[in-house]
Structure formats: C-alpha cells, structure tokens
Structure 1
Amino acid sequence: MAKDMSLLWFSGSPPCLRVMIALEEKNLQGYEQKLLSYEKGEHRTQEVRDVNPRCQLPVLTHGDNIINESYAVCLYLEAQFKSQGTQLIPDGPAQQALMYQRMFEGVTLTEKIADVIYYQLKIPEGERHDSAVKRHREALTTELKLWEGYLEKMGAGSYLAGKNFSLADVVIFPCFACCFRFGLSAKNYPKLADYYGLLKERPSVEASWTTNWQTSPPWGKDKLKDL
C-alpha cells in the first residue's frame, strides 16, 4: 500500500500511464490520486503550480518529496522500493547498459511521435507547412523502423532489454500504445504489434489502462495509419 503517496494525472497521457504502470509493478496501490482535465486547463491551477511551476503532469508526492518528470518518478520508485514488487533494473552490467540505452532513446521516440500527432494542435493553421508534415512523418517512420529492428533482433517474446520486463518497458510501452491508438498499422510493424500485444495483457498495464486511457477514440485517431 502507498498511503503516503499522491498522484496528479491526466487521462490519456503516456507519461502518466508509465508512472501508473511503475506504481503497479512495485505493488504501490492505494495511493491518493486526482484526475485533472487538460481540456479545462486544470493543470494551470495554483494547486499544480505549487508542486510544479511548469504546470505539467504527472506529479508524484511521496511524503515530503515531490517528483514531476515521469522518467524521474520511475527511477525514484525503483530506487526507493527496490526489494518490493518487480525488479525493474537488472543486475548485470550488460543488461543494465541495454536497459538504460533503450530507456533514454525513448526521449527521441516521444519527440518524433509528438511532432506528427500534435503538429496540428500546436501550430496555427496559417503557419502549417506540408513540407514540415512530410518531414515529421518521414522521421517518425525511420524511428519506428529502428525499434522494429530492435525487437526483431531480441527475438519473439522478448522485452526491450531482454527476456525480463524492465524499466525500459515501463517508459517506452506507453509511446507505442499511443502510436497504435492513433492508427499505426500492425501489418507494417509486426514486431511492434507483437510487443504491444504482449504488454497489453500484463496485469500492471491492464490495471493502469482502464483508468488512464479514455474509452472514446482520440482526436486524430487515424493520424498514423499510413506510416
């Protein structure tokens, strides 16, 4: 149980999803949580500013400690509760090296997904350029093919850093979940689709998924279908 923890989060947010998966993997259920609405601008209230001046979610509070960035939250949870629940950082140097490498490659993956999916949301209509759309889509296609190759090399039934589930999966899976949610073709990326299906059935993902992802289709639900 995690009665001395609280979480501020958005529904449909990959960063929030990864934190909730990490909490489940470390057997830290029972924490206080508050769902905020992005559409209503509830992340810009004084309540959020007091714990994160960037007005971003998730925000995890553990006792007197406040952690804002989702990667930092996941690393913190593993460090503080290392002997509890799933071991998310492997012991071997080679396994650790690969796990950290894949984990932080997720930053680039996230940026390239955002460039495609949120371009129309962030850029005013009069300032959008077809060339930018094309460039972003080509960059994301190249990135996804790279991850497809990683998984093919790992072999069937493997996780991102080996045969065991790790912190790399905690932070990267929500990125791929977002891609398939926005219409990514399983036919074009069969290894990614297999990986997505494998993790979708994991208890920590199932528990977090039902509360985190909105049941209605997202805006731009077919945005990645042609990649």
Structure 2
Amino acid sequence: MAKDMTLMWGSGSPPCWKVLIALEEKNLQGYNSVLLSFEKGEHKSQQVLDINPRGQLPSFKHGDRILNESYGVCSYLESQFKNQGNKLIPECGAEQARMYQRMYEGQTLAQKMADVIYYNWKVPEGERHDSAVKRNREALIAELKIWEEYLKKGPGPYLAGKDFTLADVTVYPSIAYLFRFGLCEKRHPKVAEYYNSLKSRPSIKATWPPTWLESPQGQDLLKDI
C-alpha cells in the first residue's frame, strides 16, 4: 500500500510534518519520501508542479490520487486506513467533537504564528509598520492564552482528551515550531508541558525535522512572547 505513495516535503515545515506524523501513526512506512530544499527552491521544480501547480509542499500522491493540503492528507490517511496503525478519530462523540474543533482551530494558531515569524519576509520593507508588528504579536499572545486554557482545563493529556488524535497530529508541529523560534516555556507552562511530553512519541521522534537535528539551536524571535 505505502509503496504506491509519494510524499514530497520540506524539513521543518509544519504542514509537511503533519503528514509525516500521520503516515507513521498509520504504520505506512515504505512510501516514496522525497525531501526537497526550500532554500534551493526545489519546491518550485517541475517534479512538484506536475502534481501541485502552486509549487507548495507537502505534495502527496497515492496511486493516481493527489492531495496537496496537509489537513486533507491526514484525514484521507485515517479514512482509508482506519483499521491500520493507531486510530486517530475517537469513538466518543464528545472527544470527536473536541478533536475536530481543536484540529481546525489549529489553523488560526498557525496563521497568527506566521503573521509574526514571517512578517519581514512577506511585507516589503517600505510597507512595514511598527503598529502592525505590535498588533500581530498581541494577537499571537492572545491566541496562546486560549491554548494554555484548553490544556489547563481539558480532560487531557492530549488536545481532544485521553487519546492521541488528528488534533495532535495537525497542531503539534505548529506548537513545536513556536518553541523552535524561542517561545518562552515559563510564560506558557501548559503549552510547554504538552510540547515536551510528546517529543518522545515514536511518530514524532521518527519524523523530527532533520534540519533541526543538524542544528538543535533555534532562533529567539519569540522569546518575549
């Protein structure tokens, strides 16, 4: 089954990492893994464009089926291989509802994170404003407070409850990315506890970004958040 799959991905990318974790959780090792370099522009190569006209990663193909959105790939893998590997959608209705809520809320967290981390990269120098930087940082702080409360009050230890689900598959990479950029663990103790508790999970440990392993020291852009 996995031999019919091809995943083109980039190291450190949260969307790519989600798919890598999902494949591990479903015991779908043995797929064709194509690691590409963002720095070299390999995500814009013809190899990628042939299945993803936007030239973005991840780009995923299973037989003649193409999925290029990370949430879609993760959901597809769970749907197609529900009886293989770890079950990622809980049976309990309450946990399932919480899973979907946290899973898609993760997109808001990822966007607010990107608004801070990539501001200088996305916005031309002449169009940058200190007020926008301040507003983006305040929005990320407010968003992190929401997740801190979820983890403090939730039935835990995972985002949807007692089981590791698609919510964790899709949100954990963004949380790890925040700490990679220097998020202060003392200011966000529950988020930090969640982050550290899952580092040793086999699917996460096996897919830890190779560039992070090569250079364990991250950046300090978020140290004051």
TM-score, normalised to structure 1, is 0.95
* Separation in 1, partners of 2:88, 2:41: 34
Letter in 2 for 1:225: K
CA distance in structure 1 between the partners assigned to 2:135 and 2:89 by the alignment: 35
Q: By how many angstroms is 1:36 displaced?
A: 1.0
Aligned CA distance change for structure 1 residues 212 and 102 (closer, same or farther; 3 Å) = farther
Q: 1:163 to 1:198 in 2, by over 3 A?
A: same
- Report the Cα offset of residue 54 of structure 1: 1.1
Runs of 4 or more off by more than 3 Å in structure 1?
210-214
Distance in 1 between the 2:115 and 2:55 partners? 21
Query: What is the identity, as a one-letter code, of the residue corresponding to 1:66?
Result: I
Deviation for aligned residue 1:212: 6.3
1:164 & 1:97 partners in 2: Cα distance?
A: 13
Question: Match of 2:6, SS?
Answer: strand
Distance in 1, matches of 2:33 and 2:189, equals: 36
Q: Specify the code of the residue in structure 2 equivalent to 1:188.
A: R
CA shift in 2, pair 1:17/1:163, >3 Å = same
- Which amino acid is the alignment partner of residue 146 of structure 1? I
Q: Offset of 1:213 from its aligned partner?
A: 3.8
Contact 1:17 1:212 in 2 (8 A): no
Within 2, Cα distance between the matches of 1:60 and 1:85? 20
Q: What is the deviation of 1:149? A: 0.2
Kindly provide the CA deviation profile for residues 21-43 of structure 1, in whole angstroms up to 9, marking residues without a partner as x.
00000000111111111111111
Is residue 88 of structure 1 aligned with residue 88 of structure 2? yes
User: Which residue in 2 is equivalent to 1:66?
Assistant: 66
Secondary structure at 1:200 match in 2: coil
The CA deviation string for residues 88-135 of structure 1, in whole angstroms up to 9 with x for no partner, is 001122111110000000111110000000001111222211000000
Contact 1:12 1:213 in 2 (8 A): yes
RMSD: 1.5
Distance 1:10 1:218, change over 3 A: farther
Task: Give the conservation status (yes or no) of the 8 Å contact 2:12–2:209.
Answer: no
CA distance in 2, matches of 1:210, 1:38: 13
* Further displaced range: 15-24 or 89-98: 89-98
**Does structure 2 retain, via aligned residues, the 8 Å contact 1:151–1:160?**
yes
Shift, 1:180, TM fit: 0.4
Residue type of the alignment partner of 1:223: L
Structure 1 residue matching 2:33: 3-state secondary structure: strand
Structure 1 residue runs of 5 or longer lacking an equivalent are none
Please tell me whether the aligned partners of residues 71 and 170 of structure 2 are also in contact (alpha carbons under 8 angstroms).
yes
Counterpart of 2:208 in structure 1 is 209
CA distance in 2, matches of 1:12, 1:166: 21
- Residue 226 of structure 1 corresponds to 224
Match for 2:195: what amino acid?
Y
Moved more, 205-214 or 159-168: 205-214
1:195 counterpart = 2:190? no
The 1:140/1:15 distance shift into structure 2, 3 A limit, reads same
Cα distance in structure 1, aligned partners of 2:137 and 2:89: 33
Deviation of 1:217 after TM superposition, in Å, equals: 5.8
Deviation at 1:218, TM superposition (A): 7.5
**2:97 partner letter:** A
Offset of residue 139 of structure 1: 0.1
SS in 1 for 2:2: coil
TM-score by length of 2: 0.96
Unaligned runs of 5+ in 2: none
Instruction: Verify the 8 A CA contact 2:183 2:222 in the aligned structure 1.
Output: yes
Task: Name the counterpart of 1:14.
Answer: 14
